Structure 1
């Protein structure tokens, strides 16, 4: 699906909206054309940078936005049963306000109803980014299944993940599910207990209130002077009460560091003592992990405040809190919205606490994502959620510039979780960990979010440093690209700024890789201009991970295309369209790009395959009874490296249900 746009008046005509719909998709990045380049300078526009807003100023902006929700809803053309709820307001230095809304229908929360309105003070047309373009209509008002049926299904879903002590508190809540397909009345059930590895469980299961069908599920627990184990001797924020020192950072929202003492529940006990010295650098000292966690929290706070003008995770000046010594031999760390806290295990043998700087920053950034874009922790949005934590944790590590833990593009390298000196993830070539993906492909939404994060991590590395071999802070990297063409980096600080601003002003709960490309390009255009080197580098870095085209419309190879229309019979036999390739050496690439242009009402009827010269079929699109939108205009990526490039390639399309027809307008493949 390609984002579409139209204009509409907002707030009594004072605010006209160019609505850019970031549509939910779990298959391919859109092949939409990029904005036409304009004659603009490449220098950064300071007015587009985030403003330094105090918690009190932010609260005032939210109050002002809340007073206008009715008029904004009316001007956006929302239905009489729909209401907007303000969740956040971000301000740019030029006065532009990015207001993030949740939506309700008949008083029910709309999952996938979130949107962002960006309004400049000069009255120019505003931009509205929606999580879904579906209109809220045709929704049942009464459930046909009992809440107990939804609860039972949710418990079964948790058991399928080998959850322990699965339980639900309270009845499932009634919601409108609008994140994909047509909007329907549904139940949302949250299952507690423990995950299979001892991590707390907060599994959200959405059940169709009419059919009892499971519509979606996602996990809300996101895994993830002090003498520290990993960062050397550092200065920590602490407070004194009489003769006792507490590990409470009064200068950073009263962030607290607590000791769970091997427990798996509760808040733990605040670290305190007779002096202001914490730990001795060894894991056997219980204060050492506390020192690392406290240091990671303060470094993350300082990065967001110093670089992006944000006071704390929520922007409200309040600190989260950290819990260390969770469980026994627990090899993980995680963020929970429900407690607004980070939690760290002590690793194998309770000897390797997961409290390194980048892990701490990673967990806190999950908190930032949860109060901004709220990227759902499953599918492509889940991979982007994980990548956001890796990307901004890397930015924190470089910003802190600690000699004992220098900035790098490795995640978790200090904790040595594998026992062989290797990190958890590599950003220059994610597949080095054996599971992460270097580039986007059509099935990446079904991969575990920690590994589907690979293309976005790879994008960030390419945008920061460029492709090829290089050494940064003594670490050697060698980053490839999906299309075999080079990428020139723009520097880490610019790359992190672009990602941060896209997260806080462009991304929504359903943003996929195509939407991330759209959002980061929009930000690059705002900051540097659409003809700038930075804008072109964003295009090229995304192309380097098989998302979209190169700058200037270049495809990074030779295009072979068939433009002869082929009719698609209603509920009939599959039809094919051929492309014959000759005079190409070797095999097809591992990231073969296939662009499809099909006109068809209710595109969910269609199954689409690419068939290689040897007859192997590569599934591009499955049928989906809930996908009622029109047309298929997508670019898919498949691993066709087992095929010779020469030969006849076929696009095979079949309509699997009655009442709708269409045709293949054209399709093309790109070979290096």
Structure 2
């Protein structure tokens, strides 16, 4: 059966020049960026007040405004202030930028998604809102009629289009006034679809389309084994809600495909049997996955939750019937899991949870647009940091590895969904960068960055890690020496939160990770040299 075997997608609109303060060699003063120094609210208020001054210093036009989205402060006082841009009051997709400031808030450099001022003239569309809606609906219908071809980009059913939003599209090509229309429907795997169709407001030409659904101790889960969950007292019993992690909770959809679900409750606070036929077992997996993801970001990077706001995520289990997928939604800030073939193979594995919730982190930071090379980097970010969640949890029943989706057996033959040491082993993913790699499905173009991460972590050649055999080749036959997965993840996270923008491609990702490695360990450090060697090994030069 040909399925879209992807943990999901991310809808957001995503490049780079960078500078900043260089740390001393072999030191890591900026390894854990945090908002805690002066408080996030105060930092955001300062960014709001500084926005007009920053816009003027960057020679933006009088129609452009900067709106702060995030502020990351390193322990050395360096600030990385991420701004979204509007034009004459309209949202600009691909107009974001990161302003890098020293401890005295002096601008040292800027990382742009689209560099320079925008000039579009009057924001009066020649194409009507109704015409744009009809166009988008027609695009979706065409995708639905292609379903018989086994096209992974097709839809099963179209429900209807929402009223289009007038925006400025600057994520690719010449910035243009455009209509962004969301068409609701059903994907091939029976999961929900929120297809965004972006069309030129002057000509009606479709500029792009992308999917808005992100995806793929006495408590016993199907995948995580026996664990100890933090729960909340509720009446005479307990609710599957974690007060120690922002009240993150798990609810039961009971085969439904929408709604808030029913909270899981239990009289004795002993959850699940470890068997898929007990509805609580998948809930244990999901609740543990959310907790493990929270702990990874909190303990390693001092990030308080997916959106760094101290609020826990909601996990919804038992979605639909025979739904072989899982996804993250920014709208509800929730994670949703299907039960797989026959409704007895829930997709609640730990690396799935880490992968999907990391889509939320990307949405809160770089917002890598989900198409082309930036889309591949978006998916790879979830694979890389989702793998970090698995390593950090270090479960006996799910030993950490460099395989994606190995626990859920989605193909039914025991093989993982993706391989990081040699991505092409899945039959579709790219091992190395080449012209046109961005034309691949984002879950396959992500192979370039996944391979980079493996090489940076473990190095090239044959080796066995936690009982799994790997053999990772380089494109040019060079030898790469790994620096360990923890340093590799720190470099990637710092690049994501400080230097990636919505339009970052592989060439820009190399520059961003080199800058992040320089911040953490020094520009001439062994770690920075390993980053360069690993990118060269996957043909990103």
Q: TM-score, normalised by structure 1?
A: 0.75
Q: Is the CA contact (8 Å cut-off) linking 1:42 and 1:534 kept in structure 2?
A: no
Aligned pair partner of 1:191 in 163, 183, 186: 183
Q: Which residue of 1 aligns with 2:523?
A: 530
Q: Which residue of 2 aligns with 1:204?
A: 196
Alpha-carbon distance, 1:44 to partner: 2.2
Q: Is the CA contact (8 Å cut-off) linking 1:468 and 1:478 kept in structure 2?
A: yes
Give SS of 1:203's match. strand
Structure 1 residues 316 and 467 mapped into 2: Cα distance closer, same or farther (>3 Å)? Answer: same
Q: Which residue of 2 aligns with 1:172?
A: 164
Q: Is the CA contact (8 Å cut-off) linking 2:186 and 2:192 kept in structure 1?
A: yes
Q: Could you tell me how far apart the structure 2 residues matched to 1:441 and 1:168 are?
A: 38
Aligned pair partner of 2:115 in 114, 133, 137: 133
Structure 1 residues 54 and 317 mapped into 2: Cα distance closer, same or farther (>3 Å)? Answer: farther
Q: Which residue of 1 aligns with 2:421?
A: 428
Structure 1 residues 170 and 203 mapped into 2: Cα distance closer, same or farther (>3 Å)? Answer: closer
The reply to whether residue 306 of structure 1 matches residue 299 of structure 2 is yes
Q: How does 1:1-150 map to 2 (within 5 A)?
A: 22=15, 42-46=25-29, 48-54=30-36, 57-122=39-104, 125-150=107-132
Aligned pair partner of 1:451 in 444, 450, 471: 444
Moved >6 Å (runs of 4+): none
Unaligned runs of 5+ in 2: 1-13, 145-154
Q: Is the CA contact (8 Å cut-off) linking 1:408 and 1:473 kept in structure 2?
A: yes
Alpha-carbon distance, 1:200 to partner: 1.1
Structure 1 residues 88 and 123 mapped into 2: Cα distance closer, same or farther (>3 Å)? Answer: closer
Q: Could you tell me how far apart the structure 1 residues matched to 2:37 and 2:341 are?
A: 40
Higher strand proportion (structure 1 or 2):
1
Higher helix proportion (structure 1 or 2):
2
Q: Which has the higher relative contact order, 1 or 2, with Cα contacts under 8 A spaced 6 or more apart?
A: 2
Q: Is the CA contact (8 Å cut-off) linking 1:140 and 1:185 kept in structure 2?
A: no
Larger Rg: 1
Structure 1 vs Structure 2 CA RMSD: 1.8
Give SS of 1:202's match. strand
Please give the per-residue CA displacement for 1:55-86, whole angstroms capped at 9, x wherever unaligned.
98112211121122111111111100110111
Q: Across the two proteins, how many residue pairs are aligned to each other? A: 515
Q: Which residue of 2 aligns with 1:560?
A: none
Aligned pair partner of 1:330 in 295, 306, 323: 323
Alpha-carbon distance, 1:496 to partner: 0.3
Alpha-carbon distance, 1:41 to partner: 5.3
Q: Could you tell me how far apart the structure 2 residues matched to 1:122 and 1:82 are?
A: 25
Q: How does 1:346-357 map to 2 (within 5 A)?
A: 346-357=339-350
Q: Which residue of 1 aligns with 2:10?
A: none
Q: Could you tell me how far apart the structure 2 residues matched to 1:410 and 1:333 are?
A: 17
Q: Which residue of 1 aligns with 2:277?
A: 284
Q: Could you tell me how far apart the structure 2 residues matched to 1:521 and 1:420 are?
A: 39
Q: Is the CA contact (8 Å cut-off) linking 1:140 and 1:184 kept in structure 2?
A: no
Q: TM-score, normalised by structure 2?
A: 0.92
Alpha-carbon distance, 1:122 to partner: 4.6
Please give the per-residue CA displacement for 1:628-653, whole angstroms capped at 9, x wherever unaligned.
xxxxxxxxxxxxxxxxxxxxxxxxxx
Q: Which residue of 1 aligns with 2:210?
A: 218
Give SS of 1:176's match. strand
Structure 1 residues 479 and 318 mapped into 2: Cα distance closer, same or farther (>3 Å)? Answer: same
Q: How does 1:244-323 map to 2 (within 5 A)?
A: 244-323=237-316
